[in-house]
Each structure stands twice: as structure tokens, then as C-alpha cells.
Structure 1
Amino acid sequence: MGVIVGAIVAVVVVAGGWWVVRTYNRLVRLRNQTQASWAQIDVQLKRRHELIPNLVEGARGYAAHERGTFEAVTAARGKAVSGGLGVTDRAAAEDALTATLGRLFALGESYPELKADQHFSTVQAELRSAEDKIAYARQFYNSAVQSYHTALESFPGNVVARLGGAHGRREYFEAAGEAQDAVQVRFA
């Protein structure tokens, strides 16, 4: 009888240990997925930042008197590429950059010669492509963060997280500017 009880206890201990290890490894996998998806956002943002000086230089030749727009784009880019920003601050800097880029794109509409310039059009198309990739990477990152938070807050992840040193929550990368850019249609 003592052997049977000992065997049952051993099975319970091994199963419990396996459960803890499996749950901990899942939390680690999800945390690493959030870090990898953030790295993808970072890659796309860097690509965007590298394209902006080309766009500004291309537009500067056609609309030299639009100096304020060029300076605003350059300043917003400088803030966006500065290091040490957290997710929320980085999102705010990118939103400001997007807003100033909108002003720069509007110059292309105001100056037909600029709009017709092949270099400006190519860089503008590449920037739009980069924006699409950023939106996709942001969506993937936010989904990874949501999965990670769900695992941290639900059983058994919450227990294992506390036992294993409570993995920290991640911030969502939200672009506040998108909601403001939505076109509102009103009927009279």
C-alpha cells in the first residue's frame, strides 16, 4: 500500500513539474514573440526613416519656400529616430512624423512639377509601402502582446509567472493618428 501511495505521489509530482515547465516555457515563447515582433516594427520604422531625407531633398528643389514644412519633417524624424523611447513615446513620435509627412505629401499635390518628378514619386510610393508594412507589423506585435497578457493573466500562467519571477507586461503600439485621419461623411 505504501508503494502505491508513493508511486501516486511521484506521478503527481512529475506531472506537476511537467505542467509548470510547460507553462513557463509557453510564457517565455510568448515573451520572445513580442520581442521579435517589436524588432520587425523597428526594422520597418528604420526603413521609413531612411527614406524621408530623400523625399525632403526631392521636394526642396521644387518648393524651396516651404521651408517650415521641411524643418517640421526633419525635426519629427529626428525625434522618431532618437533612442531610448518606450513603446508609447515611440508611437507618439511616429504619429507626429506621420502628420508632418502628410503635409509634405500635400506639397506634391500643390506643385504639379513635383508630383510629376519620378524620384519624388518613387520615394513617395516606397514610403507608402513602408507605412503598410509598419501597420502590419504593429498589428502582429499587438496581437503577440495580447496573447502574452492573456497567458500572464489566466490560469495556470498567472501562477507560474509569479513562481518564475512575474514576467512584465508589454505596452501596445498604438497609432493615435489613425483615428484622427478617418474621413467623416455627413449627409445634409
Structure 2
Amino acid sequence: MDGLVVALVLIAVVVAAVGGWAVATDNGFARQRRLLGEAWGQIDVELRRRRDLVPRLAAMITADLPSAEEPARECERCAAWAGATVADPAEQARRENDLTAALGRLLAAAATSSRLSGAEAFARLHAELTDVEDHIAAGRRFYNAHARQLNARLESFPAGLVARLSGIRPAAYFAAEDPAVRAAPAAAFEDPQLRRGR
């Protein structure tokens, strides 16, 4: 009888330990997903800021360069498309990459205007866009670091087993696919006045 009690106690201890570990592991995944959500929230704020700059930038450039109307309209279309609700960061990244490329073409057109290059209002607006791009890049690194940690943990055993049982899926990365696209808005318009203002 004593052997049976000892065996039952040992089984209860093992079950409690495994159950406690599973709950702690699930809580760890919940914490990682919350951090991922917070990181995405910061990126989303900066993406909205960038999209809000597009109409002002397009209006300023086309006022001086009527030939830039098509790149300006393309920027506005891309900004509207990027602003549509998307649940998947990978799809959002594709849309934002399209906007980044369109902004690069618009700013390349603006670089041909000597009046814009000397306009203080344009310099301020471009500096604001560059600042937003820097914040987006920093947010992307932060978000992707959390996504990488979560995904690595999902692939590990036995934590990955708990994640599968809880229905936790890998996080999508938010990345600019083409380094030239990523640098386009900041590099398309280089002016000594802008460099002094940074």
C-alpha cells in the first residue's frame, strides 16, 4: 500500500511539474506575442505619419513641377493602398515597399528643380520624411527581433509542442525587400541645405 501511495505522489508531482512548465511556457509565448504587438503598433504609427506626409509632399512638388504629376498621383495611390487595413505584416511590407519606391521616384523628380532645392518649406518636409523613414527602420529592426525570438522558440522542443497545442503561429517579418527601395526616399534628394539641417 505504501508503494502505491509513493507512486501516486510521484505521478502527481510529475504531472504538476509538467503542467506548471506548460503554463509557464504558454505565458512566455503570450508575453512575446504582446511585445510583438507593441512593436508593430510603433511601426504602424510611423507608417501613418509617412502616409500623412504624401499629400503635402506631392502638392508641393507638383506646384513647382507639373511634370511630376504622374509620380505624385502614383505616390497618393500607393499611400491609399498601404493605408488600407491589412492583418499580415508581410503584406503590409509589400505595400509599404511600393510606397517607398513611388516616393523615391517622386523625390528624384523633385531633385531636378532648382527652386525646390532652395525652398526652406520643402527642406523641412523632406527632413520630416527622412526622420519618419529612420523611425520606420528602427521599428522594423525592433519588431523583426521580437519576431525572430518568437519564431526560434516555436521551433525549439519542447516549447514548440506547447505552442502548437495552443495554436500559436510563427510571426511574419516586416522587411524591406530591396535595399535600393529602402534607401530611395532619403537618398533621392540630396541638398547641402538638407545635410546642414540634419
Aligned to 1:94: 96
CA contact (8 A) 2:65 2:110 kept: no
Identity of aligned residues (%): 35
Structure 1 or 2: more helix by fraction: 2
Cα distance between partner residues in 1 of 2:49 and 2:86 = 18
Quick one: which of 133, 138, 141 aligns to 2:140?
138
Q: How many residues were matched structurally?
A: 181
Aligned to 1:54: 56
CA contact (8 A) 2:61 2:68 kept: no
Give 1:85 shift: 5.7
Cα distance between partner residues in 2 of 1:181 and 1:24 = 36
Give 1:58 shift: 1.5
1:181–1:173 CA distance, 2 compared to 1 (3 A): closer
Give 1:89 shift: 2.2
Q: 1:105-138 CA distances to partner (integer Å, 9 max, x unpaired)?
A: 2233211111111111111111111111111111
- Write the mapping of 1:1-188 to structure 2, written as runs, cut at 5 A: 1-2=2-3, 3-84=5-86, 86-164=88-166, 166-178=167-179
CA contact (8 A) 1:44 1:133 kept: yes
Cα distance between partner residues in 1 of 2:115 and 2:181 = 30
CA contact (8 A) 1:73 1:100 kept: yes
Cα distance between partner residues in 1 of 2:110 and 2:181 = 22
Could you tell me which runs of 5 or more consecutive residues in structure 2 were left unpaired when the two chains were aligned.
184-198
User: Which stretch has the larger CA shift, 41-50 or 81-90?
Assistant: 81-90
1:181–1:17 CA distance, 2 compared to 1 (3 A): closer
TM-score scaled by length of structure 1: 0.87
Q: Using CA pairs below 8 Å that are at least 6 residues apart, which structure has the higher relative contact order?
A: 1
Could you tell me which runs of 5 or more consecutive residues in structure 1 were left unpaired when the two chains were aligned.
183-188
User: Which stretch has the larger CA shift, 41-50 or 5-14?
Assistant: 5-14
Cα distance between partner residues in 2 of 1:12 and 1:167 = 25
TM-score scaled by length of structure 2: 0.83
